[in-house]
Amino acid sequence: MFENPLEEFEEFFGGGTSKRFASTYYRPPMDVIETDDRYVVTMEIPGLSKDNIKIVLEGNLLRIEGYRPRNPLCDEEKNATFVHSEIHYGHFQRKVEFPHGTIDRESVKSKYSNGFLVIEVPKKKPKEIEIELED
């Protein structure tokens, strides 16, 4: 039901900005739009390198996961700590399940620009079957 119960708990008790409830898992915002010929998944994940994003399509389930490293200024060896923190760091994973048999798996495209990951998942075109008439 929930992707991460701890995350739901953190959101309920103040959005996870408290150090007491800090987590190394977060849930970036995502939109899923359906058009006549495709689904478009857009995820807001600024500050990540392409190497820290993984997209997997298994059957009709799209899984997007990644990692945003902690701010290097707050590494313990630099003797710096957060005074206030609202930027999420750590791992994330989001899943989108498409209706069975509706997507064209071979034509999926993705791009990452200006902090937005956009994945286009084309729908399968209906197959028209020609009817032969017998004399």
**DSSP string of 31-59, one letter each residue:** EEEE-SSEEEEEEE-TT--GGGEEEEEET
pLDDT tens per residue across span 48-70? 999 999 999 999 999 999 998 88
* Centroid of chain to Cα 101: 21
pLDDT at residue 11, as a whole number = 52
The sheet that has 109-113: what strands, in order across it? 30-34, 38-44, 116-122, 109-113
CATH topology of domain 28-122: Immunoglobulin-like (2.60.40)
The sheet that has 53-58: what strands, in order across it? 25-26, 90-97, 61-68, 53-58
**Start-to-end CA span in the chain (Å):** 57
Return the percentage of the chain with pLDDT > 90, whole number: 54
When pLDDT is cut at 50, 70 and 90, the band that residue 81 belongs to is: confident
Is the confidence at residue 82, as pLDDT, over 70? yes
Is the confidence at residue 85, as pLDDT, over 50? yes
Helices (H) and strands (E) in the chain, counts: 1, 8
Residue owning tokens 């899943």:
95
When pLDDT is cut at 50, 70 and 90, the band that residue 43 belongs to is: very high
Q: What is the CA radius of gyration of the chain?
A: 20
Record the pTM.
0.73
When pLDDT is cut at 50, 70 and 90, the band that residue 19 belongs to is: very low
When pLDDT is cut at 50, 70 and 90, the band that residue 117 belongs to is: very high
Average pLDDT value over all residues in the chain = 84
